Structure formats: C-alpha cells, structure tokens
Amino acid sequence: MNLTPYEQDMLDGKYGSGTALAMRIQVAIGESFDAARMVEITRAHVALSNQEADTWFAEKLLKGGAYCQIPPTVNPGFNLKYFQEISEVSEEDARMMERTHNTYKALGAVMTYDCTPYLGSNVPRQGEIIAFSESSATPFVNSVWGARSNREASQSALCAAITGRVPEYGVLLDENRIADTLVEVEADMKDEFSYQLLGFTGKKIGAGVPVFVGLPPKPSQEALMNLGAQLNTAGAFAIYHIVGVTPEAPTLDAALGGKKPQRTVTITNDDLQEVLQHFTPRTGPIDFALFGCPLLTINQIRTIAEVIKGKKLKVPMYILSNSLTKELAKRMGYYETIREAGGHLVEDTCMDQPPFWYGMRGKVGVTESPKCAYYSERRELTYIVRDLATCVEAAIKGEVK
Ligand code: F3S
C-alpha cells in the first residue's frame, strides 16, 4: 500500500506501540483486499461486545498509548447499576463491564452504549467516509444515508478511530456499491415487522448488493433499520438499495449502474412465513418479553405504551433503548405507563449480555426481533417472534396464541 509519511510514521511506532499496532492491522486488511491507499475518516462506531477478547484488545491498544483521533460512539454492554439493583450480577461479569467502560473511555470513545447511533448521536452525511461496525449500523449508514463504510469488525473500527483512516476497498469504491441482485418483493409488506422478516430472507437473496423493488414508497426509519439489521444478520450485506427510497437508487437503472442484474430473486408471503415458522415453531405460555435488538426508538416505545396503558403485565417485560430515548420516554409519559404496568425500560443494554444469558436460561420469551431470537439460540434461550403489538399483548396475557 502507498502510505503517506504520517501514516508510515504511525506504522513505524513514532506515535507509540498502540497506534503502530492499529496501523499494522489496517495495512494487513488493506493488503488482503488489494487496497492502494488509506483514506481519512470523519466518524467511527465501535461495536464493543464487553467480552474478554474484545476488551483485552482495547486494553492492549490503550497500554500502548493509543488514543482515538476520531472519537467513536460505542455499542451497548449492560447497565451494571440497574442489574445489580434488580438481580444478582457475578463479580466476574461486573468486573468485565467496568473494565470495558474504563478502557473505552480512556481511549477517547463517546460512551453512548447504543447500537443505533445512525439515528441520533452519530449521523453521517451522504458521501462521508466512515468506519462503522455493528450489523444494523453498517447497512443503514451506507444504504439510507449514502455514507461509505465497510463492514468493520469492532476491532478494525477501533483501529480506524485511532489512526483516523481506513484502507480504501469494498463499498468505499463506487463500483462496489452498484446493485447486482434484483429482489422483487411480492409479499405483503403491511407493517414494520414485515421488514424484519424480509431481512431474514437474506440467505435466499444471497451475496452481493441487492436492490429491492415492489416495496411501499415510504418505509419508516424503523422499517429500514429492521431490514438492514436482519439482512446483515442472516447474510453479509454492507449496503442495499430500494428504488425511489434510498439515495443511490433514484431509478432501478441507476441502482444497477446501467447494467443487467446478475440474479433476480422473488420474495413472496411464503418466504416471510418460512422465517416466522423457523422462529415460532410453537405457541403457548411465555416467561418474559424482551424488545429492542436493535435498541428501540421513541416511536416503537410509544407503540408499547399505547397497548399497555392501564393494564398489568403477567410476565416481566424488558424494553431496551438508549439513554437519550429513555429520557425522552420519561418526558412523554411512556416510561411511567410502562412502569405502572410492571415493565422495565432499560438503557445501555444489549440483549446478548450476561444478565439475559443467565437470568433467562431455559425460559421462553417473546420478541419482535428475529436477530434477538437467532443470537439467543446458542445461549439456550428460546424466543417466539411476533410483531411488537402482538408481543405486548402476549406479555399481558402470559402466552402467545
Ligand atoms: Fe443491538 Fe445487541 Fe441487538 S448491540 S442490535 S441489541 S445484538
């Protein structure tokens, strides 16, 4: 790779061993993708996982004197104070959360603990070159905002935040943003939940860059968030286009770069039903409800508050969101409504964290997110997946019909 003198100095250790390690990793990534050079970034988001390997790596960079040139926002871990109040948190888990917090803070990260920074705290403009990890974030910033980020790992995004650069390859280049797969949606896209299911047909859609036709003309931000989150969980999609909706697809021809699609895939109601059946082989009693993978927006919290108002929950309900949205929910009265019904609105917390692994093991939950159900399968948690309003009704009755 061609490095500038400043980049070469970083690589050679002039700015400390932590920065040198970050640059060495980025050069290795660049060389493996035949990148010719580094390009500067203006934003970063690090999907910290609050797990040993991730925190160990961040600590190693910190010990080497690294500091983020571009302060990245970060993903949720778990809200230690909150879970210590309502349940038991092991010393080991508490220590890990503290280590993670202290390390990323010392590296100069902005401690947002939010996997949806693209909706509030870290929103790029069209064309900005950025380094975003997190499966729902990368497709959103590329597809909806028209910014440019490869599917970064938590670690490579942190390296980028430290060096202020990324190797130029993949969807940073015009030619790799052009759609090659035409996805004709014949399914009824009647609500935001339909986009969760559509995203989880990613395996059928296959690899590459999809362009969707046949979708309603004005999908909500939650629908687009759901679509990207599920696509990039069921498959590996950095970017998608929707004709007439996303900025690089004013027409089908523009999205395809004037070429013919290499493949055409049709998605029907049967495909969406197949996804639903995979996660919902049963109905019946549930032990808890959990929503917010990705973290919920104020609109989604309002939906919950409207269904729950004046009622009592039969099973515990955990609603995950970011701290700014929780504050807003307090102002709007939704927080009180949820509390009065017996629900919990929890900030800074990912569903794939120890309080849920241990607290819910062997139990059956209901969720609106196929991603949540998919990740939890390996933790011996069972989720039934339904649309948000049906999930809330299920939590009121204690069962899914
Ligand atoms: Fe967010 Fe955790 Fe789901 S980071 S998208 S709540 S797996």
pLDDT tens, the chain, 401 aa long: 999 999 999 999 999 999 999 999 999 999 999 999 999 999 999 999 999 999 999 999 999 999 999 999 999 999 999 999 998 999 999 999 999 999 999 999 999 999 999 999 999 999 999 999 999 999 999 999 999 999 999 999 999 999 999 999 999 999 999 999 999 999 999 999 999 999 999 889 998 999 999 999 999 999 999 999 999 988 899 999 999 999 999 999 999 999 999 999 999 999 999 998 887 767 899 999 999 999 999 999 999 999 999 999 999 999 999 999 999 999 999 999 999 999 999 999 999 999 888 888 889 999 999 999 988 888 888 899 999 999 999 999 999 98
Rounded to 10 deg, the angle between the 334-341 and 323-332 helix axes is 90
Distance of CA 294 to the CA centre of its chain: 5
Q: Ligand 1 centre and the CA of 296: distance in Å?
A: 10
**Nearest-angstrom CA–CA distance, 115 and 371:** 13
Q: Ligand 1 centre and the CA of 293: distance in Å?
A: 5
Which ligand 1 atom is the nearest neighbour of the CA of 292?
Answer: 6
**Nearest-angstrom CA–CA distance, 78 and 94:** 9
Ligand 1 proximity of 352 Cβ (cutoff 6 Å): yes
pTM for the structure as a whole: 0.96
Ligand 1 proximity of 294 Cβ (cutoff 6 Å): yes
Closest CA to 32 of 124, 156, 140, 203: 156
Ligand 1 proximity of 350 Cβ (cutoff 6 Å): yes
| Phi, psi (deg, nearest 5) at residue 293 | -135, 90
* Strands 399-400 and 284-285, sheet pairing: antiparallel
Which ligand 1 atom is the nearest neighbour of the CA of 135?
Answer: 5
Which ligand 1 atom is the nearest neighbour of the CA of 371?
Answer: 3
Q: Ligand 1 centre and the CA of 30: distance in Å?
A: 28
**Nearest-angstrom CA–CA distance, 209 and 187:** 20
Ligand 1 proximity of 75 Cβ (cutoff 6 Å): yes
Residue closest via CA to ligand 1's atom 5 equals 294
Tell me the best of 45, 49, 75, 79 to mutate to test the pocket of ligand 1, counting ligand atoms within 8 Å of each CB and taking the most. Answer: 75
Ligand 1 proximity of 115 Cβ (cutoff 6 Å): yes
What is residue 281's predicted lDDT score, i.e. its pLDDT?
A: 64
Which ligand 1 atom is the nearest neighbour of the CA of 353?
Answer: 2
> CA torsion angle for 220, 221, 224, 229 (degrees, to 10)?
-140
> CA torsion angle for 224, 228, 229, 232 (degrees, to 10)?
170
Element containing residue 111 per DSSP (H, E): none
Ligand 1 proximity of 353 Cβ (cutoff 6 Å): no
